[in-house]
Structure 1
Amino acid sequence: MTAPAPAAVRTTWSWPRVLGVTGAVLLVAMVVHVVALVLLGGPVGGPVSLRKPATFAETGWLLCWSVALVLARLRMRPWQRHVVGVAVLAFAVVEPVVMGIQAWRGVPSHYNFSTPFDAALVRIGAAGTAAVFVVGMVVLLVATLRSPGTSSHGTPPELRLGVAAGVVVTLVACAVGMVMISTNSGVYRGGLGSGFGRTGAYFGPDAATVGPDYAGFRPATAGGDLVLPHAVGVHGMLLLAVPAVLLAGTAAHHRLALVATMVGAVLLALAVLLVHAFRMLPLDALGVPALVVLALCVLAYLGALASAGRSLLASRSTSRRVTSA
């Protein structure tokens, strides 16, 4: 049998395909953990729950599919594709695996240094792959900003804006995650670095600090909640890059304005949540002006997303008519 040509191998096992398959596996893992949580019971919130591997698998599959779409459209050098692909793959797979191991063992996955094994999972497995992921996102950001956009075969401006903004939002989420790791808590109560070098126990926040936990939403923390802005940020590629990729294939004349609206809405909402958190205030202390701004951001984003969806459907309908003519 004749071996396939190198070009065919590269096409078959391209990074968009690898990330697409990985995302599908993570989607299945998410569903399995959700079903297990329903059938076996157990807490939905708190430091030990099957919800955590399900949540991280959800983040992983959406990230894989989002980056796969971007890599399929963005012009990049081969080494940049490899760096981004490896970084996303490592982060998307290792994080849910760590969460799953700890959840099924019945021990906390975050801020747990009770044994050398637990400490290794936190420092090498979770924090280590997060650092690799940051490198990959920086490479993707540089490649996006340097991608040609002047010729007919260049990167459309709305695609460049959406991908770059999505990467920036994701990097902000990584920075927030580093703050959480440095303090061993998703509740910000001032200071940085207090969690470094601690071993021999679980150092996460107690129930009184976290307050009521509604499947990860904690409105009454004794300090600023960093989990919500972190959760919004890690979906930056889905929120901004994916709509930009889909819009870039339409004939809509207002593509850049739609992407810019979505970018502005997400960045402003994220800024409001972060300022509130670093003021060490719980979510239930959000004032009326902040709530109005957040509501306007949500409405602006959803309105732009709906318009983008209509443009995409109209473009596909036109393409079908041309093809059938």
Structure 2
Amino acid sequence: MTVPAARPRELSWPRVLWGAGAVLLVAMVVHVVALVLLGGPVGGPVSLRKPATFAETGWLLCWSVAVVLPALRTRARQRRVVGATVLAFALGETAIIGFQAWRGVPSHYNVTTPLDTVLMRGGAAGTAAVFVAGMAVLLVAALRSPATPALRLGVAGGIGVLLAGCAVGMVMISTNSGVYRGGIGSGFGRTGAYLGPDAATVGPDLAGFRPATAGGDLVLPHAIGVHGLLLLAVPAVLLAGTARRDRLAPVATMVGAVVVALAVLLAHAFRMLPLDALGAPALAVLAACAVAYLGGLAVTGRALLRDRRPGDDRSHI
């Protein structure tokens, strides 16, 4: 009797993403230590802070997707697409930014040489476009997954915020600046120089926080957006693994808080106003969003500490 050949085991994408995230976490620490030991600017277009920042985004993204994937009913092809695009983006972007930083040249908006142009437009922008496609696949899987409403809302909300952050990044690339001064797409087609904003346009750079830009700051809403999975999807997945019955309210509160805060910051930026020009009403809304989000996070934390089911295999999600 012929014994059928054993089917190859499917690659465990969550395990791969946990490992890739660990590598990026180490890369972040290495660049932070190098920045402290070697000195150099913390802000500006050339700094070892940039690869440290991208490594931080990358490891949190990898681990967030590793948490979310097992909570959704996905097909093998969907897991491959999501896992591969996340790896390409997280590892690829960090490698490119680190390579340029160690060369001592700007990594963003730098099309001075053919190599710089390829790394900027083909590498960084290219991996970002591939990543967006992978997140679209994950969004479809989340919306079609037979999960609880709270889990679907949290994951879909996190992906939506993430895609909004990516769209902001595309605007930044199209204008060659994280300071919005109008003219989306005005930066396309130009080569032969560093096209990023000058120091006067950026204003004081406090380790990435720039309150007095000569225009609207897109960096802060972009940073919030690209952490959408961590902010919304991960808490929803963790809450789904507890015995708490009312999960929708805290998840909806967190989603609403992040979406409203992001909308306020984007509206302000596209009016070409700096962060230090935020009025009292806008600041009050942002403060209320922060309190609401932290409240929802506190509910999730209490549920994890008090109500988590021992040996939960998430079969109820």
Taking structure 1 as the reference length, the TM-score comes to 0.93
> How many Å separate the matches in 2 of 1:144 and 1:311?
23
* Map 1:90-101 → 2, pairs under 5 A: 90-101=88-99
Q: Offset of 1:5 from its aligned partner?
A: 5.0
**Is the counterpart of residue 78 in structure 1 residue 63 in structure 2?**
no
> How many Å separate the matches in 1 of 2:148 and 2:22?
28
Q: Offset of 1:315 from its aligned partner?
A: 2.2
Task: Write out per-residue CA displacement over residues 80-128 of structure 1, whole angstroms, 9 at most, x where no aligned residue.
Answer: 1111111111001111111100110100000000110000000111000
> How many Å separate the matches in 1 of 2:225 and 2:296?
19
**Is the counterpart of residue 160 in structure 1 residue 152 in structure 2?**
yes
**Is the counterpart of residue 184 in structure 1 residue 176 in structure 2?**
yes
Q: Which residue in the other structure is 1:216 paired with?
A: 208
> How many Å separate the matches in 2 of 1:124 and 1:189?
25
> How many Å separate the matches in 2 of 1:131 and 1:192?
18
> How many Å separate the matches in 2 of 1:194 and 1:135?
25
Counterpart among 27, 30, 39 of residue 29 in structure 1: 27
SS at match of 1:83: helix
Q: Offset of 1:230 from its aligned partner?
A: 0.1
Q: Offset of 1:263 from its aligned partner?
A: 0.1
Q: Which residue in the other structure is 1:313 paired with?
A: 305
Q: Which residue in the other structure is 1:175 paired with?
A: 167
Task: Write out per-residue CA displacement over residues 285-311 of structure 1, whole angstroms, 9 at most, x where no aligned residue.
Answer: 000000010011001101110111000
SS at match of 1:319: coil
**Is the counterpart of residue 196 in structure 1 residue 223 in structure 2?**
no
User: Alignment RMSD, CA only?
Assistant: 1.2
Q: Offset of 1:6 from its aligned partner?
A: 3.8
SS at match of 1:29: helix
> How many Å separate the matches in 1 of 2:184 and 2:300?
41
Task: Write out per-residue CA displacement over residues 158-204 of structure 1, whole angstroms, 9 at most, x where no aligned residue.
Answer: 11111100000000011100100000000000111111111100000
The percentage of counterpart residues that share the same residue type is 77
> How many Å separate the matches in 1 of 2:7 and 2:24?
29
> How many Å separate the matches in 2 of 1:86 and 1:159?
24
Greater mean deviation of Cα atoms: 246-255 or 277-286 = 246-255
Task: Show structure 1 runs of 4+ deviating over 4 A.
Answer: none
> How many Å separate the matches in 2 of 1:189 and 1:232?
20
In structure 2, what residue type is equivalent to 1:215? A
> How many Å separate the matches in 1 of 2:143 and 2:58?
25
Counterpart among 240, 252, 266 of residue 258 in structure 2: 266
> How many Å separate the matches in 2 of 1:224 and 1:160?
33
In structure 2, what residue type is equivalent to 1:58? E
**Is the counterpart of residue 62 in structure 1 residue 60 in structure 2?**
yes
Counterpart among 111, 135, 158 of residue 137 in structure 1: 135
Q: Which residue in the other structure is 2:295 paired with?
A: 303
In structure 2, what residue type is equivalent to 1:319? P
In structure 2, what residue type is equivalent to 1:230? H
**Is the counterpart of residue 239 in structure 1 residue 237 in structure 2?**
no
In structure 1, what residue type is equivalent to 2:132? V
* Map 1:223-234 → 2, pairs under 5 A: 223-234=215-226
> How many Å separate the matches in 2 of 1:74 and 1:39?
44
Q: Which residue in the other structure is 1:257 paired with?
A: 249
> How many Å separate the matches in 1 of 2:310 and 2:101?
48
Task: Write out per-residue CA displacement over residues 125-168 of structure 1, whole angstroms, 9 at most, x where no aligned residue.
Answer: 100000001100111111111112xxxxxx12111111100000
Task: Write out per-residue CA displacement over residues 32-64 of structure 1, whole angstroms, 9 at most, x where no aligned residue.
Answer: 000000000100000000000000000000000
In structure 2, what residue type is equivalent to 1:257? A
Counterpart among 16, 19, 31 of residue 18 in structure 1: 16
Taking structure 2 as the reference length, the TM-score comes to 0.95
SS at match of 1:158: helix
Gaps of 5+ in 2: 312-317
Q: Which residue in the other structure is 1:152 paired with?
A: none
Q: Which residue in the other structure is 1:122 paired with?
A: 120
